[in-house]
Copies of this chain bind each other. A is one copy, B any other.
């Protein structure tokens, strides 16, 4: 425990569950990245006694405590007083001249008079120092707690994440950073294989106790490989990249991106590089696929537009789907999906066109086509038309999100070329139509 860092979150709104404490998990991850072990985490309300008790207990058993919150200008912000109780129990708070200067400047630059209550934010225990906050009025406070042979560094930072995070980097990292024991992490995002199939490819890389460690998590059809290396910074980083390379070799081209890159951005970059264009014809996704694509900045270079053809009449009028096709095979079928894609290709005059049609639920399913049945078709100028049937578990929102993701995944496989194209066929029922 001695080298570990505790996190103390302060605020009635946290204790009452009115907001989620995302600061604490962010701090835990950043502490590992700079080579420190996150220890216990506590949350207390705006109560001077409870706050001081928790701070004293954590400071007595950890090498450092990072406290967030309770530094505002109002009377229920009690971090300053509680810190005093712990590090200088017999003294009074003092006004910090530089802190007063900071507050005056803050209000002056905004052309507003400073409320007198804000002066509380320039107060600190006599044996503590203020930590500058470039993004808000509340300065942080740094102090040292000593008891018998044990010493603990205490950092009090403001609660708003946009103020807290840069102050962590400016004050905590230089004081606590330890390049000898960092945790380096990477996430590789894949789509097209289930979690267990991907795990088979990764094989003994996933054995527990391996260093760097390799694990998987799944969400909305996207399976992410998480790699984590610990050790001296340079060694950990090299080990991380070596394992990442090994994962990429084994997982192959189902991996589309790293560290949060959206699938739509990857597809967009491939289109832009090959100077190709795309359009969409959406039934069950109702615009979600277009929304994913246009969330990518610069998408107007390769995304030409789409038709949201929720009603059958729109499929017929806007995309030229034959009424007989819908009557014979249903709106949710390979045949309709293929005609939708072909229609979009013609109408929007793009290189590729993606079509979705399915039963998102909660009603509309049948024995042959239960809720979650979805067809994705992709037409290519001067190429074949592919269509694949999926069945997704989950509620309406989940089915729609997975449909949009899988449609993008299929598009990516098509753009990757002949070798990858077989992955379009790797699972479930699929048909390929020669272009007439």
Contacts and interface: CB of A to CB of B under 8 A. Distances in A.
Interface of A: 1, 14-22, 24-29, 32, 38-45, 50, 54, 57, 280, 282, 284-291, 293-295, 297-300, 303-311, 313-314, 318, 348, 360-363, 396-397, 400
Nearest to A307: B307
Nearest to A74: B208
A310 B314 contact: no
A131 B304 CA distance: 57
A294 B286 contact: yes
24 contacts: A14-B25, A15-B28, A15-B38, A16-B28, A16-B29, A17-B32, A18-B25, A19-B25, A20-B20, A21-B21, A21-B25, A282-B290, A286-B290, A287-B293, A287-B294, A290-B291, A294-B360, A295-B400, A297-B361, A297-B362, A297-B363, A298-B363, A305-B307, A305-B308
A44 to B, nearest CB: 5
A311 B397 CA distance: 28
B40 A50 contact: yes
4 tightest A-B contacts by CB?
A: A287-B290, A286-B294, A17-B28, A287-B287
A4 to B, nearest CB: 9
A294 B306 contact: no
The dominant DSSP class at the A interface is mixed
A311 B307 contact: no
Contact of A287 (B43, B44, B288): B288
Nearest to A364: B300
Contacts of A303: 286, 310
Given A295-B400, A306-B308, 18 more contacts: A1-B50, A15-B28, A16-B32, A17-B32, A18-B29, A20-B22, A41-B42, A41-B43, A287-B288, A287-B290, A287-B291, A288-B294, A290-B291, A297-B396, A300-B310, A304-B310, A305-B318, A307-B308
A314 B308 contact: no
Nearest to A28: B17
A207 B267 CA distance: 52
A382 to B, nearest CB: 21
Contact of A293 (B24, B286, B307): B286
Contacts of A288: 287-288, 290-291, 294
A313 to B, nearest CB: 8
Contacts of A19: 25
A227 to B, nearest CB: 13
B54 A40 contact: yes
Contacts of A284: 294
Contacts of A309: 305
A396 B287 contact: no
Contacts of A310: 290, 294, 299-300, 303-306
B295 A291 contact: no
A428 to B, nearest CB: 24
Contacts of A285: 291, 294
